[in-house]
C-alpha cells in the first residue's frame, strides 16, 4: 500500500483506494455510481438520500453530513478508515 500523508482510506472487501482530499472522495463516489450504471436520481433513491445531498457530495461540498456519507459508502460496500500519520507532539505544534 502506498503511503500518503494524512490518509483517508476507502476500503472495499480486499483492496485499498487511498484518498487525501474531499474532492477525491467525491470523484470516487461518482465513478462508483456510474460504474453501476445509475443516474444521480436513481442512486439517491436507492441509497435513501436526497438528490441535492448527492449532487453536493459529488461536487465536493466542504460541509456534508457524515451520517449520509456513511450511508452512501455503506450502500457501495465501502467504509472509511482513518490512519494516523507519524506521531506528533501536540504541545510542540501549539495544538494543546
* Domain 8-82 class, CATH top level: mainly alpha
Q: Which residues contact 50 (CB under 8 A, 6 or more apart)?
A: 44
Question: Taken in order 75, 73, 68, 35, is the CA torsion positive or negative?
Answer: negative
pLDDT recorded at residue 95: 61
pLDDT recorded at residue 74: 93
Alpha carbon distances (Å) from 19 to 7, 15, 22, 59, 84: 6, 13, 8, 16, 14
Secondary structure (H, E, C), 24-74: HHHHHHHHHHHHCCCCHHHHHHHHCCCHHHHHHHHCCCCCCCHHHHHHHHH
Domain spans of the chain, in order of start: 8-82
pTM of structure: 0.66
List pLDDT tens digits, range 29-65.
999 999 999 999 999 999 999 999 999 999 988 788 8
Mean pLDDT rounded to a whole number for the chain: 77
Amino acid at each position: 500500500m502506498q503511503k500518503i500523508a494524512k490518509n483517508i482510506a476507502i476500503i472495499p472487501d480486499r483492496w485499498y483506494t487511498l484518498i487525501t482530499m474531499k474532492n477525491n472522495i467525491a470523484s470516487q463516489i461518482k465513478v462508483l455510481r456510474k460504474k453501476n450504471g445509475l443516474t444521480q436520481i436513481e442512486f439517491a433513491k436507492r441509497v435513501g438520500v436526497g438528490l441535492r445531498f448527492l449532487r453536493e457530495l459529488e461536487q465536493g461540498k466542504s460541509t456534508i453530513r457524515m451520517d449520509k456519507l456513511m450511508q452512501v459508502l455503506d450502500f457501495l460496500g465501502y467504509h472509511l478508515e482513518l490512519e494516523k500519520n507519524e506521531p506528533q507532539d501536540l504541545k510542540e505544534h501549539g495544538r494543546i
